[in-house]
Structure 1
Amino acid sequence: MASDFSRALEGTGIRQVLFGILSIVDANPGVNQGTVGRMLGIQRANMVAPVNEMAERGWIDRQTDPSDRRAFILSLTAAGETMFARALTQIRAHEANVLSDFDSRDRQHLVALLARIEAREG
């Protein structure tokens, strides 16, 4: 699946972890970096490198959290919003291609099965 995801995002420079972070920050502007890590199951120390990478690429704005000076709050920059939108478009196109042989009933069944798997792991 990881290589499939990589092919879907070919040319963007985005890996799964970066897409996950962009997704959460897009949906929650001003979110605490630690919260993003917890949502993705990434340990605090392991969040530093990908956030630094995205800040260097100009995708993420990092500000000191006024309620906790040891923490950062994250928001997407205009470049980050553009990159996230591009990646999301490519992922949706890839998913449409992968599921092209599925009718709506098949898709509903797939979603139900995936939800059962997620419920077991959560």
Structure 2
Amino acid sequence: MAAANDTATLGPLDSFVGYHMRRASARMSVDFHAAMAETGIRQVVFGVLSVIAANPGINQGQIGKVLGIQRANMVSLIGELTDAGYVSRTTSPEDRRAFVFQLTDRGAAAFADGLARIRLHEDRLLRDLSVGERETLVALLKRIQASGAD
């Protein structure tokens, strides 16, 4: 039975990292969508743009691997980005059967706009963390991600 003054507690749930990560992720996701609403760019699409921006000439398989996106899903994402005019594809000089990707001018502009919006979004939600705490948080999250790698 909850306390009369509505101060129910989470009980043991409050000690689970996964619970707090899920709640924080949900909060970040809602704010991300609000920050990017005018652009029509989803998180996964921005991720692909970011990888291509950082690695011009990258192939579809490499993009999927670095982002953990399955091959079938990459096909539709690349189609979406080329249809939007954000990326161009050319035949790979190493493997004539494969395509490599780079941002178009439109894609570079969309990426730069999205990056600015995401920085504001993260600054807003992480304003109570110091730069060092943010760096520590990212480092810890990367360690958790790596612990599941096969």
TM-score normalized by structure 2?
Answer: 0.73
The answer to whether residue 148 in structure 2 is matched with residue 121 in structure 1 is: yes
Q: Distance in 2 between matches of 1:108 and 1:86?
A: 23
Q: Distance in 2 between matches of 1:47 and 1:104?
A: 34
Pick aligned residue for 2:98 from 45, 54, 71: 71
Distance 1:33 1:109, change over 3 A: closer
Q: Deviations over 1:48-71 (max 9, x none)?
A: 111111111110001121322221
The CA RMSD measured in Å over matched residues stands at 1.7
Structure 1's unaligned 5+ residue stretches are none
Query: Shift of residue 6 of structure 1?
Result: 1.5
Q: Deviations over 1:25-82 (max 9, x none)?
A: 0000011111111111112222111111111111000112132222110000000000
- Conserved in 2, the CA contact under 8 Å of 1:19 and 1:84? yes
Q: How does 1:1-122 map to 2 (within 5 A)?
A: 1=26, 2-122=29-149
Q: Distance in 2 between matches of 1:115 and 1:37?
A: 18
**Higher relative CO (CA 8 A, sep ≥ 6), structure 1 or 2?**
1
- Conserved in 2, the CA contact under 8 Å of 1:34 and 1:71? no
Structure 2's unaligned 5+ residue stretches are 1-25
- Conserved in 2, the CA contact under 8 Å of 1:32 and 1:71? yes
- Relative to its length, the structure with more strand (as a share) is 1
TM-score normalized by structure 1?
Answer: 0.88
Q: Distance in 2 between matches of 1:112 and 1:79?
A: 33
Answer with 1 or 2: which has the greater Rg: 2
